[in-house]
Structure 1
Amino acid sequence: MTAEQPVTSATTDGVLALRARLRSLCDEHGVSIELRARLVQSATILAREHHLAAYPADPAAVDGQLRVEPGGAATLVVTLPLVEPLDRTRPLNLPLLPEPVDAPAAVWHLPAQVEPQVAVRADPADDQAATDLELRALLARTDSLEREHLQLKHELAETNSGVVAMYVELEERDEQLRRAHAVIFRELEDALRPPPPVVPGVELGVHYRPADRDAPTGGDLYDWFVLADGTLQITVVDAVGHGVTCTRNALNVTHTIRTLTLDGYPLEDLVRRAAEINEGLMATLLVARLDPRTGALRLAGGGHPPALLVPGTGDTAYLPAKGRGVGFPVPGSTGINTTVLAPGDLLLLYTDGLVESRGDVDEGELRLSSAAKAYADQPLDLALSTIVADMHDIVLYTDDTVLLGVRFRGAMT
């Protein structure tokens, strides 16, 4: 399979089955959640970049062998057949690097247990729940690294001897932590930034730019999925705060909205119920539902910037969806904005970092309207990245930025 071949539902199902197979192997042999998360993400990247010998991904092609050393140490050897050997002269950019082998395969050696006592975990076949479990384990690991970092600085402040030696050690530890954070952040980005679903007649794209390149998991998150009736739902969340806690808060809100939606709550009640469930945190959000068969669009707001409609012909228009966000007084949507997209229309959903880079929201919205109209005819991913670059040509106020694009092509016959 080449890079030009389209992603199909069979491809997606194959990747999900592959991920479930790897999780089952890891759980069966007591591999830690953190290593399991890295392995699953690495295999997913190889699959999506079409390195697998069997594609769509065939979970039966994955080989897992438990090796026990004379001293009792156990290792799970996972082998994934590839089209050709990996090119070691180029960076692989995988969360968990495979062993260097000449054969056309990716091979990982993972510390395991001979007779693991595995705690109750999410069903490996439930990709959303399993990913959530892995993400929380990685977040806990990040918290642990940050505590170690703070403890080391505290110890340095309390001592008056060996300052130079301890300073050198601190710098070395900081560099180790930065490298560890970089790996974890790449894994978190894969888990936090879900790939767009396949929706006939709709083209989806996203561009994310963190305020801090060393901490790319801030509180600006999104979620998109297709309901049972074929409706596309998109949620954009901007949690108040910084760091891992802010990321966790935003993740809680997106998962709450998804759960409430699947439980059948109407669109107009989602923000209010999410606020009742997530006490103690603050976030703005916007929820959009699009019927790809008719172009009917409904928007429910929670204190979030309005969506921007860029029609195929005519002037751009903001679509305000009034309401108050999670953690604000009297939270909830006060009305639903309804409109109908025509073939060729482009809808933009974003967080406030896009329009506040110069500190003036009104000016930012005018500039966004102009930039969106100027670049709307470009391929979607290029249009989104170009709009963000144009909006951030001068940055006086830095904040995370998410820009999602929904281009309506019209009902597929």
Structure 2
Amino acid sequence: MTRETVRTLAALRHTVRSIALGHRLPADERARLVQSLTEVAAPVLVGGRSVTLLSGRGTDEDGARLLTLALRLPRQASGTAVATDRLPLRAQTRSDGTVVWHLPLPEGQPASRPQATPAAATRNSDADVALLEEELRAALARADALADEHRRLKDEMAETNSGVLALYVQLEERDEQLRTAHGRTLRALEDALRPRPLHVDGLELAVHYAPASDEAPTGGDLYDWFTLPDGTVHFTVVDALGHGITSTRTALTVTHAVRTLALEGHPLESIVARTDGILTPFDQSVMATLLLARLDPADGRLDLANGSHPPALLAHGDGTATYLEVRGRGVGFPLPGSERVLSTRLEPDDVLLLYTDGLTESRRDPCEGEARLKDALCRHRAQPTERIPGLVAEELVSEVLHRDDTLAIAVRRTGGDPQLRQPSEAPK
């Protein structure tokens, strides 16, 4: 290993540059090596002391050729050396303070002897300037290459972003198409769950339904209506526990069971209990409230049975309204059944409202909800029948603490007038 004593920064730079040039190191690596040794030795050389530079060749564990340079500092100066992990070329520091660099040599290019010595440094300033300019050009070329690479990556990133944005737009369009198709399917399912429009002389019927969530337009609030063989009209309003498709299945099961029992001729007061007796042995999870009503359009006789459901509300022609209270327990409840059947009369132009608790419990205070519902029905009773359920629901759920399925059915007795208006649903 060659040993040299160096006393000035100029001599150090010249010597290191000559060694690197002699070993065919690239200009950019040569510049990093010169700068690294300069930073380590500068505190010592500027202070008027000397350093020892050692250089030699060797191999690593894999047999690759290496150039080794070692900078030995005076003992009293070893503690002032710069951090070697922050140098342009990282180095190792030995226990005696010597700083060592190991650089791989280019393949296939034999090293030549160094072109100068420290004593000749001052006589080769022109050569040093030429080498320095070469290193500067290499640094600039590398900077230009990095800038070109940065621009290329930026362009690729912009192109990628453009592609991602286009893909995102396509996915949004596809998602919108799927949502539209999903909505159409669910609306068709919702329509399929409803009974057919019922046209009865002497009655006007209208219904409003709104789900708790637009993402699940079916829920546990269902209704059924049909004409019995004796000419009376049967109404069923069901509110199954929960939301979504599961509660819809429960409500459908209950309404179908009630329809079957009613058409078989079972008395109204027994149907709630019989429905529970039929369903709960097969499914212990079934739980629903229900309200049953039978109305004779000829004389206005109205019979009601209840299973834990909110009471029907009757608005009279004089502007007053009355809740038709019937106690009972619903399907899946302990001791299910209606305690009695309430009988009353629906006079011409009276309006009967059957509904679910989504209307009265929107503010978590059923008493307040019932009072607001009564006021709303009295205020809208004179409106066309097809508008009443929607107007009442809109008023009661305009300010809610929590959303729930809402169902309202309006029944007006017209006194048997054959000129009936077409029943329709209020807008959702």
Q: What TM-score bracket applies, with the shorter chain setting the length? A: 0.5 to 0.7
- 1:220 equivalenced with 2:217 (yes/no): no
- 1:401 equivalenced with 2:402 (yes/no): no
Alignment-derived partner of residue 235 in structure 1: 236
How far apart are residue 178 of structure 1 and its match?
Answer: 3.2
Q: 1:366 aligns with which of 366, 371, 381?
A: 371
Whole-Å separation in 1 of the counterparts to 2:262 and 2:250: 19
Whole-Å separation in 1 of the counterparts to 2:380 and 2:181: 38
Whole-Å separation in 1 of the counterparts to 2:272 and 2:178: 37
Whole-Å separation in 1 of the counterparts to 2:178 and 2:186: 12
Whole-Å separation in 1 of the counterparts to 2:205 and 2:225: 10
Whole-Å separation in 2 of the counterparts to 1:188 and 1:260: 25
Alignment map for 1:156-167 (pairs within 5 Å): none
RMSD: 2.2
**Contact 2:351-2:413 within 8 A present in 1 as well:** yes
How far apart are residue 345 of structure 1 and its match?
Answer: 0.5
**Contact 1:196-1:205 within 8 A present in 2 as well:** no
Alignment-derived partner of residue 185 in structure 1: 186
Secondary structure of residue in 2 paired with 1:250: helix
Q: Deviation per CA, 1:315-335, whole angstroms, max 9, x where unpaired?
A: 210001211000110111111
Unaligned runs of 5+ in 1: 1-163
Alignment-derived partner of residue 89 in structure 1: none
Q: 2:347 aligns with which of 342, 353, 375?
A: 342
C-alpha change, 1:412 and 1:380, in structure 2 (3 Å) is closer
| Amino acid aligned to 1:308 | L
Alignment-derived partner of residue 35 in structure 1: none
- 1:196 equivalenced with 2:197 (yes/no): yes
Whole-Å separation in 2 of the counterparts to 1:262 and 1:170: 51
Alignment-derived partner of residue 295 in structure 2: 290
Whole-Å separation in 2 of the counterparts to 1:180 and 1:242: 21
Runs of 4+ in structure 1 deviating by more than 4 angstroms, as ranges, are 167-177
How far apart are residue 194 of structure 1 and its match?
Answer: 2.2
C-alpha change, 1:407 and 1:225, in structure 2 (3 Å) is same
Secondary structure of residue in 1 paired with 2:251: helix
Whole-Å separation in 1 of the counterparts to 2:327 and 2:414: 28
Q: 2:336 aligns with which of 321, 331, 346?
A: 331
Alignment-derived partner of residue 78 in structure 1: none
Name the % identity.
56
Q: 1:392 aligns with which of 394, 397, 402?
A: 397
- 1:209 equivalenced with 2:203 (yes/no): no
Alignment-derived partner of residue 258 in structure 2: 257
C-alpha change, 1:181 and 1:268, in structure 2 (3 Å) is same
Alignment-derived partner of residue 302 in structure 1: 307
- 1:278 equivalenced with 2:279 (yes/no): yes
Whole-Å separation in 1 of the counterparts to 2:370 and 2:256: 29
Secondary structure of residue in 1 paired with 2:302: strand
Q: Deviation per CA, 1:56-107, whole angstroms, max 9, x where unpaired?
A: xxxxxxxxxxxxxxxxxxxxxxxxxxxxxxxxxxxxxxxxxxxxxxxxxxxx
Q: Deviation per CA, 1:359-401, whole angstroms, max 9, x where unpaired?
A: 1110000001001001100001222211111111201121000
Alignment-derived partner of residue 383 in structure 1: 388
Whole-Å separation in 2 of the counterparts to 1:362 and 1:170: 48
**Contact 2:217-2:244 within 8 A present in 1 as well:** no
Whole-Å separation in 1 of the counterparts to 2:310 and 2:266: 23
Q: Deviation per CA, 1:121-170, whole angstroms, max 9, x where unpaired?
A: xxxxxxxxxxxxxxxxxxxxxxxxxxxxxxxxxxxxxxxxxxx9xx9799
Unaligned runs of 5+ in 2: 1-163, 419-428
| Amino acid aligned to 2:264 | D
Q: Deviation per CA, 1:302-324, whole angstroms, max 9, x where unpaired?
A: 00000000011152100012110
TM-score (norm 1): 0.57
**Contact 2:312-2:323 within 8 A present in 1 as well:** yes
Q: How many residues align?
A: 249
C-alpha change, 1:178 and 1:296, in structure 2 (3 Å) is same
TM-score (norm 2): 0.55
C-alpha change, 1:266 and 1:304, in structure 2 (3 Å) is same
How far apart are residue 177 of structure 1 and its match?
Answer: 5.1
Whole-Å separation in 2 of the counterparts to 1:336 and 1:262: 18
C-alpha change, 1:329 and 1:174, in structure 2 (3 Å) is farther
Alignment-derived partner of residue 26 in structure 1: none
- 1:322 equivalenced with 2:323 (yes/no): no
Whole-Å separation in 1 of the counterparts to 2:200 and 2:327: 27
How far apart are residue 186 of structure 1 and its match?
Answer: 1.3
Larger radius of gyration: 2
**Contact 1:293-1:412 within 8 A present in 2 as well:** no
Alignment-derived partner of residue 144 in structure 1: none
C-alpha change, 1:240 and 1:177, in structure 2 (3 Å) is farther
**Contact 1:299-1:321 within 8 A present in 2 as well:** yes
Whole-Å separation in 1 of the counterparts to 2:346 and 2:192: 31
| Amino acid aligned to 1:335 | R
How far apart are residue 350 of structure 1 and its match?
Answer: 0.1
Secondary structure of residue in 2 paired with 1:339: strand
**Contact 2:319-2:378 within 8 A present in 1 as well:** no
Q: Which of structures 1 and 2 has the larger relative contact order (alpha carbons within 8 angstroms, sep 6+)?
A: 2
How far apart are residue 411 of structure 1 and its match?
Answer: 3.4
**Contact 1:306-1:321 within 8 A present in 2 as well:** yes
Secondary structure of residue in 1 paired with 2:248: helix
| Amino acid aligned to 1:178 | R
Secondary structure of residue in 1 paired with 2:250: helix
Whole-Å separation in 2 of the counterparts to 1:282 and 1:173: 39
| Amino acid aligned to 1:239 | A
| Amino acid aligned to 1:318 | Y
Secondary structure of residue in 1 paired with 2:344: strand
Deviates more, 1:194-203 or 1:238-247: 194-203
